[in-house]
Structure 1
Amino acid sequence: MRRSPLWRLLLLVTPGLAQVVEGLVTQLDLFPDNAAATDEGWAAWSPDGETLLFGSNRGGNANLWLKTGDQAARQITDHPAFDGHGTWSPDGRRIAFLSERSGSIGIWILDLESGAVIPLVVDQPGLTLTICAPSWSPQGRIAFEAVRNSDADAVTFTGADKTLRHPNVDIFTVAENGSDLERLTDSPGSDGYPAYSPDGSLIAFDSNRTGEFGIWVMNADGSEQHQITSGGDDGFSAWHPSGGWLAFQSNRAGNPDIWMVNLDGSGLRQLTSDSANDINATFTHDGRFLTFISRRNGGDQDIFLLDLSTVPTLQVIETVQPPKKGTRCLERQ
């Protein structure tokens, strides 16, 4: 039987994880031929589910890499400035990512075939971008967070993991050609980390407008903003491919771990449990596995995979078929 590229990325079952909450966790084998200490982070699966996009400081600088099956990882950006937090275009031919190559943080577009890199959104009057991955909708819009210039120098620490956040961040969207910039939120607090739903009709985000960070959902045009979770310093949400529930990170159990919740706010479940911080969740395109970042194997930051069918608290997982075509900050990788 032919195994998928996903299985050929797996390394070994991480030892010492026989816990009540957590299921089977494996570490992705991204650089099998080199044991050099590097940090990997912010994983995103290609629309066809074949290739993993991730950031790494391998070589001493943060850049973007691709890994397909048992092929060697391939570096796709090479710049002395920070490049990271990539997300795929719906057709899988381009990648939107954050970069400081212009001297300040901005969103850039990489054409994978030609290698051309062009700016999409960079700092401009009234708008200063923050370190947060953009999200690309099936309809061709890109959502991102930015801070109002009047508050651009104000930085606060939030959460048990001391996450850097600006106090007045809002969510914006822009067309993939850089036109039609729209502001979707304008709350007195911080609204950030937007993530489009699989069909592009909704955006999940985190907000502290009530005094603590929780997961919120709104329509893609910014209407009907409503809270999904509270009480846990929640953030970094990711959609299950079915569109019915969200994974997110939370310290509601005393340490940043990955949790899930149904779209109506019911069915709150803990998915990972480890003394190391488990952050930045995303799903494989069949919905069977969840990718996250952790330092649970030591000092380096690595990418891990959770088999959702083995999570004791998760009784039913809706598996979806990977699409044939088309159809997401803490760490700087």
Structure 2
Amino acid sequence: MPPHADLCGRFGAGVAMSRMYALRVLYLAVAMMLLTAHLSAIAASPIRQLTSSTATNVRPAWSPDGKSIAFQSNRDGPYHIYLMNSDGSNLRQLTNGDNDDRHPNWSPDGKTIAVDTGDQVKREITLIDVGSKNRTQVTRLGMTAQFPSFSPDGKTIAFYLYNLGTMDLWTVGRDGSNAAAVTRQLATEANNQCTFACHSAGWSPDGTRVAFSDGDNARVLLMAALTGGTATPISPDDEKSHFPVFLADGRIVYVTEHVTANQSYTDLWVVDPNDMSAVRTELAQNVQAQGPFEFNKDGSELLFFSPRTGNFEIYSVTLDAAGKAALAEKAAISTGFGVTRTPVTPQTSVLPFQVTPELVVLGVLALLAITLELTVWIYRRRRAA
């Protein structure tokens, strides 16, 4: 054997080994680049996913100061109320027990959350102290009382009462006094009540009026909060309108759903109830998100829940141009009411990438693998030298 043969063999093997590890490092580097691109897409997406679990997470509600969000989840069996920060951090459970707690609504001072508690037949309005978690039952009607909504002064609660095939809007004092119906046969058994009536009534900022949906005609109505009387329609008769919410400036945001033989789509509208002669403003169109929506005080940001990733999760979005476009980006999504919405016009935006536990693990493993490969490669190079 020539004297240089062993050296050449070692050199050739070293080159081959170097190439092999270089290719591995290259593959892992590409994987990390793709991961980084995905994470960048998350940061840039106008829609922010706030919950992530195998459970159903729905009905988000802003705290009065905008720092916390209450929502209901069945992650431990029955539906219970959970709290989290506005960015989805600091998740904690507020209620527990064998009965469902649903449809959280904050008191104006942020110290209490009203819910409806019970089973599928009998539900009562209950108050939960946010600090102590103590419970106080408000109604004792023995029927289905649900969807509570605090008045702006915190002294009165509006809610829906279902009994003997009819659903109506009621009010009751915070202490349980003066429970009375505001409407008569708002929705009947023949109508799909949960599509149009199953959402907390919206109080005007001064507490004198409430906005709600008419189950018979699918219109948004406005009437005196405590005395009832004649309801004034504020949405067109030829549209299915529901989920009205008052903004801090007194305007009302509501949802319309347009259904044809081939498609359906949803729009968000803003109207001034004090000037019905004014033209209503379209806030967002072709919205592919689960209603009802919860707006912050100035109407610039909203919360919604949607099954766009498989499970019902809670999202927030800022209502700028990018946010409005992102709301319409999913080609079709279940409304939860037996209707699948499809945009009227083709959408070109891409569904925002979502962080999952699997992706986080993949990123960590890829980083560790790159570090290990580089360490081994450097070690072998030094030995070969």
Question: TM-score over 0.5 for the alignment?
Answer: yes
Match of 1:145 in 2: 160
| Structure 1 stretch displaced more, 213-222 or 240-249 | 240-249
The structure carrying a bigger helix percent of its residues is 2
Query: How far apart in 2 are the matches of 1:199 and 1:28?
Result: 33
CA contact (8 A) 1:105 1:129 kept: yes
Which secondary structure does the structure 2 equivalent of 1:259 belong to? strand
Give the residue type in structure 1 aligned to 2:156: R
Quick one: structure 1 residues 38 and 121, their matched pair in 2 at CA, closer, same or farther if it must change by over 3 Å?
Answer: same
Match of 2:84 in 1: 67
Quick one: structure 1 residues 176 and 280, their matched pair in 2 at CA, closer, same or farther if it must change by over 3 Å?
Answer: same
Which secondary structure does the structure 1 equivalent of 2:229 belong to? coil
Match of 2:132 in 1: 114
Quick one: structure 1 residues 169 and 256, their matched pair in 2 at CA, closer, same or farther if it must change by over 3 Å?
Answer: farther
Quick one: structure 1 residues 170 and 64, their matched pair in 2 at CA, closer, same or farther if it must change by over 3 Å?
Answer: same
Give the residue type in structure 1 aligned to 2:272: L
Match of 1:218 in 2: 223
- State the number of aligned residues: 271
By how many angstroms is 1:14 displaced? 7.4
Quick one: structure 1 residues 26 and 256, their matched pair in 2 at CA, closer, same or farther if it must change by over 3 Å?
Answer: same
1:122-174 deviation per Cα after TM superposition (whole angstroms, max 9, x unaligned)? 433xxx225x4211002310001112x433xxxxxxxxxxxxxxxx2111100
Match of 2:51 in 1: 30
By how many angstroms is 1:214 displaced? 1.1
Is 1:255 matched with 2:264? yes
By how many angstroms is 1:273 displaced? 2.6
Which secondary structure does the structure 2 equivalent of 1:236 belong to? strand
Match of 1:94 in 2: 112
Match of 1:243 in 2: 250
CA contact (8 A) 2:103 2:116 kept: yes
Query: How far apart in 2 are the matches of 1:14 and 1:273?
Result: 22
Larger radius of gyration: 2
| Structure 1 stretch displaced more, 68-77 or 137-146 | 68-77
Match of 1:163 in 2: none
Query: How far apart in 2 are the matches of 1:95 and 1:292?
Result: 19
Quick one: structure 1 residues 277 and 309, their matched pair in 2 at CA, closer, same or farther if it must change by over 3 Å?
Answer: closer
Quick one: structure 1 residues 111 and 258, their matched pair in 2 at CA, closer, same or farther if it must change by over 3 Å?
Answer: farther
Match of 1:21 in 2: none
By how many angstroms is 1:61 displaced? 2.9
Is 1:287 matched with 2:294? no
Quick one: structure 1 residues 249 and 43, their matched pair in 2 at CA, closer, same or farther if it must change by over 3 Å?
Answer: farther
Q: TM-score, normalised by structure 2?
A: 0.62
Q: TM-score, normalised by structure 1?
A: 0.71
Quick one: structure 1 residues 252 and 262, their matched pair in 2 at CA, closer, same or farther if it must change by over 3 Å?
Answer: farther
Quick one: structure 1 residues 231 and 29, their matched pair in 2 at CA, closer, same or farther if it must change by over 3 Å?
Answer: same
| Structure 1 stretch displaced more, 175-184 or 305-314 | 305-314
Which secondary structure does the structure 1 equivalent of 2:147 belong to? coil
By how many angstroms is 1:56 displaced? 1.4
Q: Structure 2 matches for 1:165-176, cutoff 5 A? A: 168-176=166-174
| Structure 1 stretch displaced more, 137-146 or 240-249 | 240-249
Which secondary structure does the structure 1 equivalent of 2:320 belong to? helix
1:264-294 deviation per Cα after TM superposition (whole angstroms, max 9, x unaligned)? 45415262535x5521111112321121222
1:19-73 deviation per Cα after TM superposition (whole angstroms, max 9, x unaligned)? xxxxx74133235xxxx32221111111111111111122333111111256421
CA contact (8 A) 1:12 1:26 kept: no
CA contact (8 A) 1:93 1:113 kept: yes
By how many angstroms is 1:252 displaced? 5.0
1:213-259 deviation per Cα after TM superposition (whole angstroms, max 9, x unaligned)? 11111121223411111323222222222211223353457436351
Unpaired runs of at least 5, structure 1: 1-10, 16-23, 152-167, 315-328
Match of 1:323 in 2: none
Is 1:310 matched with 2:327? no
Unpaired runs of at least 5, structure 2: 1-38, 326-334, 338-385
Query: How far apart in 2 are the matches of 1:96 and 1:105?
Result: 13
Percent identical: 24
CA-based RMSD of the aligned residues comes to 3.2
CA contact (8 A) 1:258 1:281 kept: no
Higher relative contact order, structure no. (Cα contacts within 8 Å, ≥ 6 residues apart): 1
Is 1:56 matched with 2:62? no
Match of 1:182 in 2: 180
CA contact (8 A) 1:295 1:302 kept: yes
